[in-house]
Structure 1
Amino acid sequence: MHPPSVRSERLVSPTGRGYLQLESHPAGCFRGVELMRAQVPAPDAPPARRPTALVIGSSAGYGLASTITGLVRYGIDGVGIGWERAAGQRSASAGWYRTIAAATIARDLRSNFVFRNADAFADSTKSETLDLLEERFGGVDYLIYSVAAPRRTDPRTGITHQSVLKPLGEPHTTRNLEFADDGTALLRDVTVEPATEAEKAATVRVMGGEDWSRWVTALAGRGLLRDGFRTVALSYIGSPLTSAIYRAGTIGAAKEHLESTAVTLDALLAGFGGRALVSVNGAVISQALTAVPGIPLYVCLLRGVLGDRFPSPVEQSLQLWEQLTADRPDVDERGRIRLDRWELSAAVQATMAERWRSVTPATLTELADVPWFRTQFRALYGFDVPGVDYAVPVATDLPWPGSPAR
């Protein structure tokens, strides 16, 4: 998989500090997507009919993994939506390059899958996407909602809501894994002040189920839901070790709203023989989760416990598609698909609790897989990916798939 030749080429190196990275490497992002594709087994037989999927958040994390899995194993057509930055003085965002690579997979597989670079929260994006779905496909079988955003402008009010990652009720101090400029791993205590009620409400407006519900009701209003339509929103619960800032914090309040939205949508879809579900996925290294204090250390320790048994996003996405396409999805008592049982098993969490209590700067490399974590994090931006020669200049100003070359 090679990028098209556009404008001049240059060397691209990591730029930024800590978990804030400002440059992405096109060839590394391309190669990373190739490696994801290699994890997906070919279908047992060609599908009798290509299902149509709408993936919101298709350029990163589980949304990207679900898109690649759907293309390779389930033969999907449809639309993927991401919101990524084009190249300027710096490279484009990593999701921009990953989308080019995913579009190449779709083309190789002769899939009619279109990628849009647009704000999924905007009514204009919904209207234009529904027009495209109606014109090209006539209906939708699956909607995967995988959005992690710092802010959302409500198109009905024009108000921009800002999400925060804070505990509720009282301050919380946790240890976090950070990296010095030379790559040295550091343990730091981080104290986060509690959110106000306004901050909690704003986080729910950004990360809750409101926008997911608007997508589903818009599809229903246009008559685009096929019989048996299924939609899933991706969520995370995580460990009690990180719950004060995550599940018991502002983001947890948003996830609770997402789950209550699923109940409402599930009742709406019953008339189509459809389902609305929440999938509780396991931990992963993503651009969103590394922003949560305590999560980087937790994931690093979790890899130390599990080693190669730590499932990749693609492996979890394969399980997600199995549940989406099953006659009767395997759900818990609250109707949620649970892909996190490997993480929250009693044995794993008991070992994690012991390591969390005992980890110090002196024992960090013994108890946690620091090299793996740093490599995986840098790979999010296309660096440290095996098989890429970073001494070779690359073109960074590449067009979004389907748009004319500049």
Structure 2
Amino acid sequence: MPKPRPRQTAGAIALTLAASGSAVVIQPLASAPAIAARVSATCVNTAADARTIQAAIDASKEGDEVVFKGPCLINRTITLRGRRTYRGDAKAGTVIKQADGANLPAMLASESWVTDQAYSSDPVRIERLTLDGNRDHNTGTVGLMLRSWDSRIYDVDILGTPSDGIRVSNPSKNGTRLRNTMVNSVISDVYIERAGGSGLKVVDPGNAVTDWTFQRSWIGFSGESGVDAENSAGWTFSDLHLYATPKNAIDAHRCFGTSIHNNYIEDFGTKATARQTYYGIRCDLQGEAGTTISNNLIHKFGPRPAVTQPANTRQYGKAPAPQQDPSFVYLALDSVNYGTGHATVTGNSILGHGTRRETGLLFRRGRGNGLSIASTGNLVDNVGIPRSIGSGVRVTGGY
């Protein structure tokens, strides 16, 4: 299905009717300007800090700025109410850490996710703070759980979360799905390191989480992928630096008007296992809209990863399975989900180890009707299979 239209909102205008002879004149009512307040939550680095933070948020009003003064220690999920700004004094000064053994589902989370509403939360802005997931002493925790539309996340460090660093989620805490869309948000200038799951994960079994931008950020030493997006329709992934990634650097599904550009991928598939395929950049496409993948740098700098032999030991008289090395694909458009896919692949630089288990560019139409690609100006060096094109794929241009 195509991506939905962005959620529309209309500002309410109060009007009065005034008699002027036989005519009726419509006049806007003057309204008092909103006065935003600054609400402080001052932590003392004890388990009581979570109550302090939540009390400050609950006492705030729409338009207010809630300031966290750290260091803070939390043992409960902080619920972020909409139409507010949340900020720290500085990333080094405001560190919100998960307490040992808290095992929270999320450290900070949109209100609609916590309360299991069927509609996305109103916008939030989060900036200038650090989230420490305390991964060594907790399990299953997402650093920042977003279920708010038209939001802004800026200048935030997310370190050592047991699960994903940031998760943008259609389902709520109990699995309730959105009945509306969740669009038009920006995540920028964040640093995500040592997430137990993916750096950024988009969970969208429907078609609600579209038209976001993730830009100018760093993701390193994740437990799984750098970016793992179930729905990439209308998304822009740009100017990201992704390194030391065990699985896929950017794994983008249901691309529809998607832009992936100017990203620097130092490595991917660093913890490869036998018979698996790992991707630098991967898109599967929706029909009816174009996608652009341009000016990305995709490398494998590290040594060839060690292979984990599947555990198929001599049981019931069977010999161990033969070794099958993993495969590495630097840039793939490997499936069209419906209709004909359209994409432009230009100006990408790919540098590999020169083995036959590496493919530079891979184009497949999957179950779709066809795939049309303009592929020009790409550098593919030291890769065993520079380009692989499947049936039903039309490629114009050289490399």
Normalized per residue, which structure has more helix? 1
User: Which has the larger Rg?
Assistant: 2
TM-score computed with the length of structure 2 as normaliser: 0.24
Normalized per residue, which structure has more strand? 2
Question: Whose relative contact order is higher, 1 or 2, with alpha carbons under 8 Å and at least 6 apart?
Answer: 1
TM-score computed with the length of structure 1 as normaliser: 0.23
